[in-house]
Amino acid sequence: MRRLTYENNRGESIVFYHSPFFIEALTGIGEVDADIQNQRAPYRDGDNYIDTILQPRFVTLEGAINSSNLNEIKNYRKQILKVCNPKLGLGKLTLELDGDIKEIYGVLDSVPAFPERSSNPYQRFMVVWKCPNPYWRDPQQVSRSLKAYEGKFTFPFTFPVRFGIEGDITTITNDGDTSAPVIITIQGPISRPMIENRTTGEYMQINTTIGPEEVLYIDTNPLAKRVEIHRTNQIVKAMGYVDYNSDFWQLAVGDNELRYRADEGIAEAIAAVSWHSQYVGI
């Protein structure tokens, strides 16, 4: 099974499958160009490998309108042009292939092409998307919760007294082929919350107090970094509260040990970490 669905940013969608939009060829779903970063020293053979950078992905669909009726062909062409409009910016591609489902965001590289039919009863077409982020991702967002502070103090008490446990440490797994940005949400009340990825040695700390009716929102996506405090009917930019040594960390491939702590907090203060695993191909 091979089915491709494209949804533009107006919420309009089109499905390429068997009928009426038949897929003849689909390229770019696996292969993507890689740029190898090297450094060369003078008077030395060869060079030093630094990193590999994936280039934007180009997904090309060649298909045919599965109809020989002229009025239907005209209407189907209009439908393709309406949904696959380059002026609408980024849209979402969802590919179902052999029981696997992945998605990616892309913009039309050009207006869809419709070659001359001549004696062919079917109208062929070609659509090309440029995907700035070359990674496919799971459609389902995975989310895990961490408790900031668990109170232990009760009356009457006996020594030794346990006032509480600092933070919750848990291990989450990134099943993808590369690191994955995360979205962190923290429901107050909490003071100077910090979430650390102990696997990578990086942490994110916010030097402010989050009230009981506020939610701290952090997005570590390099293309959409955000730190915000969400209140009722209000969103406040909070990038200025980010600790100087903080990192917009991502999940490494495999297991990641996360720790959540704060200067002050109660049992109701909960942090959620959400992510989509990313893949180099499908």
Tell me: the pLDDT tens digits for 10-47? 999 999 998 899 999 999 998 888 888 888 888 888 88
23-51 in b/e form (b: 16+ CB < 10 A) is: eeebebbeebeeeeeeeeeeeeeeeeeee
Q: Give the pLDDT band of residue 268 (cuts 50, 70, 90).
A: low
Q: Residue for token digits 């060649």? A: 62
* pLDDT at site 265: 62
Question: How many percent of the chain have pLDDT more than 70?
Answer: 90
Which of 171, 184, 198, 169 shows the shortest CA–CA distance to 248?
184
pLDDT, tens only, 131-190: 999 999 999 999 988 865 444 444 444 444 444 445 567 889 999 999 999 999 998 888
Q: Is the pLDDT of residue 69 over 90?
A: no
Write the CB contacts of 153 (distance below 8 Å, at least 6 apart in sequence): 161, 162, 163, 164
Q: Give the pLDDT band of residue 127 (cuts 50, 70, 90).
A: very high
**Domains in the chain, start-ordered, CATH in brackets?**
2-134 (2.40.30.200), 142-279 (2.60.120.880)
| Residue with the larger pLDDT of the pair 166 and 219 | 219
Q: Is the pLDDT of residue 236 over 80?
A: yes
Q: Report the C-alpha gap between 221 and 15 in whole angstroms.
A: 29
Six token digits for residue 238: 């909070």
Say if pTM beats, i.e. exceeds, 0.75. yes
* pLDDT at site 153: 42
* pLDDT at site 155: 45
| Residue with the larger pLDDT of the pair 223 and 268 | 223
* pLDDT at site 162: 43
* pLDDT at site 163: 42
Q: Report the C-alpha gap between 128 and 59 in whole angstroms.
A: 6
SS (H, E, C) the chain: CEEEEEECCCCCEEEEECCCEEEEEEECCCCCCEEEEEECCCCCCCCEEEEEEECCEEEEEEEEECCCCHHHHHHHHHHHHHHCCHHHCCEEEEEEECCEEEEEEEEECCCCECCCCCCCCCEEEEEEEEECCCCEECCCCEEEEEECEEECCCCCCCCCCCCEEECEEEEEEECCCCCEEEEEEEECCEECCEEEECCCCEEEEECCEECCCCEEEEECCCCCCEEEEEECCEEEECHHHECCCCCCCEECCEEEEEEEECCEECCCCEEEEEECCEECCC
| Residue with the larger pLDDT of the pair 268 and 224 | 224
Mean pLDDT across 239-266: 89
Dihedral sign from CA coordinates of 111, 34, 102, 60: positive
Write the CB contacts of 224 (distance below 8 Å, at least 6 apart in sequence): none
> Which amino acid would we find at residue 101?
I
Q: Report the C-alpha gap between 208 and 213 in whole angstroms.
A: 14
Mean pLDDT across 52-70: 91
* pLDDT at site 164: 43
